[in-house]
């Protein structure tokens, strides 16, 4: 009786706790990529729930039907050979389940690695998202502005994020817009997203990167194209320019609030892509300083000056 009441109390407590929980962000998609991933999660949950229900139902049926009964002392159970039909079922069904889930996973993985469906003919907004201990820097090369720890994006337009890091490996993740992808110090990875619903969303570093990892978050605000254009104009008119000296200060380990600048650090410190990718960054030899930043050598500066003069 005590066990019965204990189980009953546990059930009631679980219901109360679950009722007060907010919906999981990964199951509340606000963009096509996140919706694809949420569908895969629901398919996986439904498949696993079906397996659990069938297995436990068969367990109860077998326990009741073939439970031990009182037999005579000289009773000997009959010799039974393996049943090929039963063996085919218990082996074949798990194989079919694995094949099904594998196909769903592979198709969805390829889908989220490219421009969202329905946005193929639109020009994407390219944002360079770089991390440092423990903050996020968002460079908008087309708009020539940069933000720290917050990201404004237009809705109904493809987003192309170029990810890299000025410190340890981090993981860029906006749960309601799509999956996470690593940002590394010597290469650029690309993540395709899109926001179909205006609103504010949480973004964060999903890869442990030291003592400041827990606060390594950023705000994402999706808005209409007209509101986004107005914000860009306001930033260009009011924000202070981002200098190399200021950017080196931002790279120092620590936490910052939300900052806005005109200009981007890509002008004096390009992302590690193209000729800048790889351990030697092409002909532009650079190195990581003690604060996690990069400094160009004289050859790089001379080449840039000659290029500007030629133009």
Q: What is the pLDDT of residues 250-289, one digit of tens each?
A: 999 999 999 999 999 999 999 998 755 654 443 333 434 4
Give the full edge-to-edge strand order of the sheet including 199-205: 150-154, 217-223, 199-205, 170-173, 181-183
User: To 10 degrees, what angle do helices 84-112 and 32-65 make?
Assistant: 170
- What b/e sequence results for 238-271 when a residue is b if at least 16 CB atoms lie within 10 Å of its CB, and e otherwise? ebeebeeeebbebbeeeeeeebbbbbbbbbbbbb
Q: Provide the mean pLDDT of the chain.
A: 85
Kindly state the average pLDDT of the residues 99-121. Answer: 94
Kindly state the average pLDDT of the residues 106-117. Answer: 94
Residue 23 has pLDDT above 70, yes or no: no
Tell me the per-residue pLDDT of 42-60, one tens digit each, with 9 for 90 and over: 999 999 999 999 999 999 9
The pLDDT assigned to 16 comes to: 53
Kindly state the average pLDDT of the residues 17-45. Answer: 83
CA–CA dist 131, 292 (Å, integer): 10
Which pTM does this prediction carry? 0.76
Percent of the chain residues past pLDDT 70, beyond the cut: 81
Judge whether 217 and 204 are in contact, CB under 8 Å.
yes
Judge whether 183 and 164 are in contact, CB under 8 Å.
yes
20-34, 44-58, 87-101: segment of lowest average pLDDT: 20-34
Who contacts 209 (Cβ-Cβ below 8 Å, separation ≥6)? 131, 133, 134, 167, 168, 169, 170, 216
Residue 20 has pLDDT above 60, yes or no: no
SS (H, E, C) 49-107: HHHHHHHHHHHHHHHHHCCCCCCCCCCCCCCCCCCHHHHHHHHHHHHHHHHHHHHHHHH
Residue 229 has pLDDT above 70, yes or no: yes
Please name the residue that has the structure tokens 């705000």.
219
Residue 157 has pLDDT above 90, yes or no: yes
Q: Tell me the fold of 125-269.
A: Immunoglobulin-like (2.60.40)
- Give the model's confidence band at 310: pLDDT under 50 very low, under 70 low, under 90 confident, else very high: very low
The pLDDT assigned to 175 comes to: 96
């Amino acid at each position: 009786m005590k066990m019965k009441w204990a189980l009953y109390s546990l059930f009631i407590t679980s219901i109360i706790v679950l009722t007060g929980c907010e919906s999981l962000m990964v199951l509340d998609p606000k963009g096509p990529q996140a919706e694809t991933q949420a569908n895969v999660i629901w398919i996986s949950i439904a498949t696993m729930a079906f397996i659990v229900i069938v297995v436990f139902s068969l367990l109860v049926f077998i326990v009741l039907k073939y439970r031990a009964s009182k037999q005579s002392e000289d009773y000997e159970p009959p010799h039974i050979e393996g049943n090929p039909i039963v063996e085919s079922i218990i082996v074949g069904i798990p194989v079919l389940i694995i094949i099904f889930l594998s196909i769903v996973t592979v198709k969805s993985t390829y889908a989220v690695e490219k421009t969202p469906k329905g946005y193929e003919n639109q020009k994407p907004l390219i944002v360079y998202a770089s991390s440092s201990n423990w903050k996020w820097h968002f460079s908008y090369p087309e708009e020539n502005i940069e933000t720290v720890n917050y990201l404004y994006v237009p809705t109904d337009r493809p987003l192309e994020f170029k990810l890299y890091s000025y410190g340890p490996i981090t993981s860029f993740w906006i749960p309601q817009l799509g999956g996470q992808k690593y940002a590394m110090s010597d290469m650029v990875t690309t993540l395709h997203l899109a926001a179909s619903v205006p609103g504010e969303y949480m973004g964060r570093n999903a890869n442990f990167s030291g003592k400041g990892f827990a606060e390594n978050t950023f705000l994402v605000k999706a808005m209409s194209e007209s509101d986004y254009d107005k914000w860009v104009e306001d930033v260009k008119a009011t924000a202070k320019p981002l200098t190399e000296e200021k950017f080196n200060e931002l790279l120092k380990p620590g936490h910052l609030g939300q900052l806005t600048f005109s200009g981007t650090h890509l002008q004096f410190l390009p992302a590690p892509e193209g000729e800048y990718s790889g351990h030697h960054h092409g002909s532009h030899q650079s190195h990581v300083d003690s604060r996690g930043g990069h400094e160009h050598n004289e050859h790089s500066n001379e080449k840039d000056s000659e290029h500007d003069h030629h133009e």
